[in-house]
Amino acid sequence: MAKEGVEITEETEHMIEKNGGKEQEKLLSAPGNKEMRAVVLTGFGGLNKLRVTKRAMPEPQEGEVKIRVKACGLNFLDLMVRQGNIDSPPKTPLVPGFECSGIVEAMGDNTKGFEIGDRVMAFVNYNAWAEVVCTPLEFVYKIPDDMTFPEAAAVPLNFVAAYMMLFEIANLREGMSVLVHSVGGAVGQAVVQLCSTIPNVTVFGTASLSKHEAIKDSVTHLFDRSADYVQEVKKISPDGVDIVLDCLCGENTGKGLGLLKPLGTYILYGSSNMVTGETKSFFSFAKSWWQVEKVNPIKLYEENKVISGFSLLNLLFKQGRGGLVKTVMQKLISLYNQKKIKPRVDSLWALEEVKEAMQRIHDRGNVGKLILDVEKSPTPLMANDSTETSEAGEEEEEHEDNNDNKERMPFIQ
């Protein structure tokens, strides 16, 4: 089934490449029982490598749930995937996307636990940005009646990551302090909401000045991302902080460790500072590996410090910890039902608007989560603008190089 999908896609892409945008539009409007629309990454690179096309409809294998997708989450990680800037990237063409919400449409043989029509959210190991997706039972979770599909698509990667970092790794408790970078992003906003469930937690956050007005109420001390945050934090808390959540990597690792109080925990959960320009997958990854400062355990011993890394995707898809994540999901759903958390959705985009959505996350325009709304039609302006968008994608490298001050959004697993 997967093989068939790839064949159809390749053929379709070939046609699109030969015939241009109009052919694509015709294909999308053609109804077909065994086909579905999906965002396809044709190769690693700029925005021009993304297109919406028809693919074979997947059918659930044993142990899988088939979901009619309503909304998908878009993360900084998806930009890294697009560029091939991840460890062991899969082969292209591929359908990106690691999380979605929707309605259960079918179950594989001998698969129990859901009814057709159940409203769910799910992790997917790629393939989420499509009208239909199949994923193993253990990665699917029922959602509360009053949780919207866009909200639900914002929960899996960001809230689970934020929860596990704060409570599974760092043991956040009353009176502690947390420093989080890119606090206006989706993980950042999940972190501040979860911190607010514990009494008397101080949140230090960095974000672009343009976001400050929108997020100032959620953060105790907010700094411009270009400020010297080490000095700013020390002015307020000379002792430092209890928890540092770092999605930037690079020199921020040393700075973060330096800011920790005794028994404090630094968690690296992304490396968005390591992403520059386009593609160069393996090379860029290897470069970031060597650029990061190594840590001497004896220094940790003398200073009573904790350093860790957190990759939710590896935890789920390489390390088989779906059971643990399920218990975290239950806690998050309980917090949602108690109205203690509520995913903050920045904006909704049609599948066909994925390039604009990616550009927005790249340009640090979002406050909270970017959602691909599968049932949304592209706004006429956007649809007419498609050629322009494509050019924007091709110009992305230069664009990035000229904007060193721009905020990098979190690399969310």
In the complex, the residues that contact a second copy under the rule CB under 8 A are: 87, 164, 168-169, 171, 249, 253, 262-263, 265, 268-269, 271, 288-289, 292-311, 314-315, 319, 321, 324
What's the min distance (Å) between Cβ of 321 and a second copy?
6
What's the min distance (Å) between Cβ of 193 and a second copy?
22
Q: Considering beta carbons, is residue 41 or 268 the nearer one to a second copy?
A: 268
Q: Considering beta carbons, is residue 169 or 214 the nearer one to a second copy?
A: 169
What's the min distance (Å) between Cβ of 260 and a second copy?
11
What's the min distance (Å) between Cβ of 196 and a second copy?
22
Task: Mark out the alpha helices in 196-242 (DSSP H runs).
Answer: 209-215, 229-236
Q: Considering beta carbons, is residue 304 or 384 the nearer one to a second copy?
A: 304
Tokens standing for residue 263: 């028994």
Closest by Cα among 203, 332, 185 to 272: 185
Closest by Cα among 200, 167, 170, 163 to 261: 170
What's the min distance (Å) between Cβ of 266 and a second copy?
8
Locate the DSSP E strands across 335-384. 345-349, 369-373
Tokens standing for residue 161: 């990551």
What's the min distance (Å) between Cβ of 243 and a second copy?
13
Q: Measuring CA to CA, how many Å separate 206 from each of 76, 189, 212, 221, 230?
A: 17, 12, 9, 9, 11
Closest by Cα among 83, 89, 98, 85 to 129: 98
Q: Considering beta carbons, is residue 221 or 321 the nearer one to a second copy?
A: 321
Q: Considering beta carbons, is residue 119 or 261 the nearer one to a second copy?
A: 261
Q: Considering beta carbons, is residue 207 or 307 the nearer one to a second copy?
A: 307
Task: Mark out the alpha helices in 203-280 (DSSP H runs).
Answer: 209-215, 229-236, 251-259
What's the min distance (Å) between Cβ of 268 and a second copy?
5
Residue 120 sits at φ, ψ, to 5 deg, of: -140, 165
Count of Cβ atoms closer than 10 Å to residue 279 Cβ = 17
Tokens standing for residue 284: 């860029």
Q: Considering beta carbons, is residue 186 or 274 the nearer one to a second copy?
A: 274
What's the min distance (Å) between Cβ of 323 and a second copy?
11
The residue type found at 262 is P
Q: Considering beta carbons, is residue 78 or 118 the nearer one to a second copy?
A: 78
Task: Report the SS3 class of residue 338.
Answer: coil
CB proximity list for 103: less than 8 A, separation 6 or greater: 67, 68, 70, 117, 118, 119, 120
Burial 193-202 (b: 16+ CB within 10 A, else e): bbbeeeeebb
What's the min distance (Å) between Cβ of 172 and a second copy?
11
User: What torsion, rounded to 10 degrees, do the Cα atoms 61, 98, 147, 326 define?
Assistant: 70
Cα within 13 Å of Cα(356), Cβ side:
20
User: What torsion, rounded to 10 degrees, do the Cα atoms 259, 265, 268, 269 define?
Assistant: -130
**Which residues face 372 on adjacent strands?**
72, 349
What's the min distance (Å) between Cβ of 270 and a second copy?
8
Q: Considering beta carbons, is residue 71 or 313 the nearer one to a second copy?
A: 313
Q: Considering beta carbons, is residue 95 or 313 the nearer one to a second copy?
A: 313
Q: Considering beta carbons, is residue 59 or 293 the nearer one to a second copy?
A: 293
What's the min distance (Å) between Cβ of 107 and a second copy?
28
